[in-house]
Amino acid sequence: MSDAHDAVEVISAKRDKHELSDSQIDWVIDAYTRGAVADEQMSSLAMAILLNGMNRREVARWTNAMIASGERMDFSTLSRPTADKHSTGGVGDKITLPLAPLVAACGVAVPQLSGRGLGHTGGTLDKLESIPGWRALLSNEEMFAQLESVAAVICAAGDGLAPADKKLYALRDVTGTVEAIPLIASSIMSKKIAEGTGALVLDVKVGTGAFMKHLDAARELAETMVALGQDAGVHTVALLTDMSTPLGLTAGNAIEVQESVDVLAGGGPADVVELTLALAREMLAGAGRGDVDPADKLADGSAMDVWKQMIRAQGGDPDAALPVARESHVVTAPSSGVLTRLDAMAVGLAAWRLGAGRARKEDPVQAGAGVVWHARPGDTVTEGAPLLTLLTDDEHRFQRALDSLAGGYDIEPAGTSFEAGPILIDRVG
């Protein structure tokens, strides 16, 4: 591509609230990926986008330019239709683990490219790596073969997909531009569209433990991503779901795997089951298999069968004992009554400080670390009874975890009327 533009011209245009032309967008993404636009220049442009926004055409073009920076996958030769899910991240959000084998059991292939955790949000790959022998890195050939034989794969995205996004993602992290909705939407959707799935369901989290704290911002992000998917010819819908309270009863790596297995065995916490089934139904409808009820596949054990095949196909032992943390600390209820609030961010930070997450992407994580809660909002609790159990290999981590839980829950007197809000807030698309 010829250097028809220069970085200062593009930065100035967005600084002055102008629309960027298609050729400006194509040029700047290509030049940045090649190293011809410097990090400080792209930082400046990212800040201008954060402050002044982009319209639908600009965001679509930006996303396409990021896709064009790398390879595109094509699953059209598979014997089944494909569907994928992306969550914007939350606390206790282990939904991908039971969801992928469940949808596969219903006859739809699930090419689930997942990531690692950063900060208080857990990463799907970190959770699965607590299973002895399981590996996240597959070649494209291995991924295709597994999709044909097992119909479900959860693995790391290869370096070939949207390399521009990888560079830009790292830059946004250190320049205060993570929150720019056009950049969040194009980051997520460039990878998902390049991945080549036929249908996509977005789980956009809203609340204290989510990236989007407020409903209006979450809805704007959902609408932007759904439009990008539709413009690219991918059947895309988004569910806005609550992340004020953490999902299920666990936040960590091995303990979330165990909870996922409980769901696949026909049990598990009601909220995890509800959200898994809601997302499964959307994925199946998008892939043209809306006639299948995923609840039947949880009940008859076929989703569990696919889970075991999927884990074995990636070198894991689905029957092996999961790692257990060396140290535990029980937090007891300070009074009797009704638990009316358990803050997702407080729990997420505690799990992170116990070693379940990482501060920098190169940090290791502990497989056994995390938080188990013994009551959910609406449950009756008794003074002195266990409320939370903290797990870690390093007991010096307990105090900082306890600090992050201070003020993170409310217990009201017995008889206080309490009704938990819905998990499913809205649907876009």
Supply 95's token pair: 């939904």
- Among residues 264, 284, 313, the one where a domain terminates is 313
- Paired with 114 in beta bridges are 156
Stretch 171-200: mean pLDDT, rounded?
A: 92
Residue 165 annotated to the active site: yes
Mean pLDDT for the chain? 95
197 band by pLDDT with thresholds 50, 70 and 90: very high
Q: How many domains does the chain have?
A: 2
Residue 376 annotated to the active site: no
Q: Are residues 273 and 353 in the same domain?
A: no
Q: Are residues 241 and 146 in the same domain?
A: yes
Active-site choice (191, 235, 281, 353): 191
Q: Are residues 292 and 402 in the same domain?
A: no
Q: Are residues 140 and 226 in the same domain?
A: yes
Are the C-beta atoms of 102 and 298 separated by less than 8 Å?
Answer: yes
pTM score, whole prediction: 0.94
Residue 166 annotated to the active site: no
* pLDDT at residue number 2: 56
3-7, 117-121, 127-131 — most confident range: 127-131
Residue 402 included in any domain: yes
Q: Are residues 364 and 221 in the same domain?
A: no
Are the C-beta atoms of 120 and 357 separated by less than 8 Å?
Answer: yes
The alpha helices in 96-160, defined as continuous H runs, are 96-105, 124-128, 140-149
Closest CA to 16 of 45, 58, 39: 45
pLDDT greater than 80 at residue 171: yes
Residue 253 included in any domain: yes
* pLDDT at residue number 314: 98
Q: Are residues 214 and 277 in the same domain?
A: yes
Higher pLDDT, 174 or 218: 218
- Among residues 261, 285, 313, the one where a domain terminates is 313
Closest CA to 39 of 217, 143, 171: 171
Active-site choice (61, 94, 172, 397): 172
> How many angstroms separate the CA atoms of 59 and 315, rounded?
39
117 band by pLDDT with thresholds 50, 70 and 90: confident
Residue 12 included in any domain: no
Count Cβ atoms below 10 Å from residue 56 Cβ, excluding itself.
Answer: 13
Residue 396 annotated to the active site: no
Assign residue 130 the CATH number of its domain.
Answer: 3.40.1030.10
Q: Are residues 234 and 271 in the same domain?
A: yes
Angle at 144 between CA 140 and CA 150, to 5 degrees: 135
Are the C-beta atoms of 242 and 253 separated by less than 8 Å?
Answer: no
Higher pLDDT, 362 or 193: 193
Active-site choice (84, 165, 242, 343): 165
Q: Are residues 296 and 371 in the same domain?
A: no
Q: What is the pLDDT of residues 236-259, one digit of tens each?
A: 999 999 999 999 999 999 999 999
Q: What is the pLDDT of residues 357-398, one digit of tens each?
A: 887 777 889 999 999 999 999 999 999 999 999 999 999 999
Residue 63 included in any domain: no
Structural domain boundaries, residue 133:
83-159+191-313
1 band by pLDDT with thresholds 50, 70 and 90: low
Stretch 194-216: mean pLDDT, rounded?
A: 95
Residue 380 included in any domain: yes
Residue 172 annotated to the active site: yes
Q: Are residues 234 and 343 in the same domain?
A: no
Q: Are residues 119 and 214 in the same domain?
A: yes
279 band by pLDDT with thresholds 50, 70 and 90: very high
Assign residue 359 the CATH number of its domain.
Answer: 3.90.1170.30
* pLDDT at residue number 120: 75
Burial class (CB in 10 A: 0-12, 13-18, 19+), 336: middle
Angle at 121 between CA 294 and CA 128, to 5 degrees: 55
- Among residues 289, 313, 337, the one where a domain terminates is 313
Active-site choice (85, 86, 120, 166): 86
pLDDT greater than 70 at residue 352: yes
Q: Are residues 150 and 267 in the same domain?
A: yes
Active-site choice (44, 186, 187, 244): 187
Q: What is the pLDDT of residues 124-158, one digit of tens each?
A: 999 999 999 999 999 999 999 999 999 999 999 88
Q: Are residues 268 and 245 in the same domain?
A: yes
Q: What is the pLDDT of residues 312-345, one digit of tens each?
A: 999 999 999 999 999 999 999 999 999 999 999 9
SS3 84: strand
Q: What is the pLDDT of residues 50-87, one digit of tens each?
A: 999 999 999 999 999 999 999 999 999 999 999 999 99
Residue 288 included in any domain: yes
Residue 322 included in any domain: no
Residue 242 included in any domain: yes
* pLDDT at residue number 118: 67
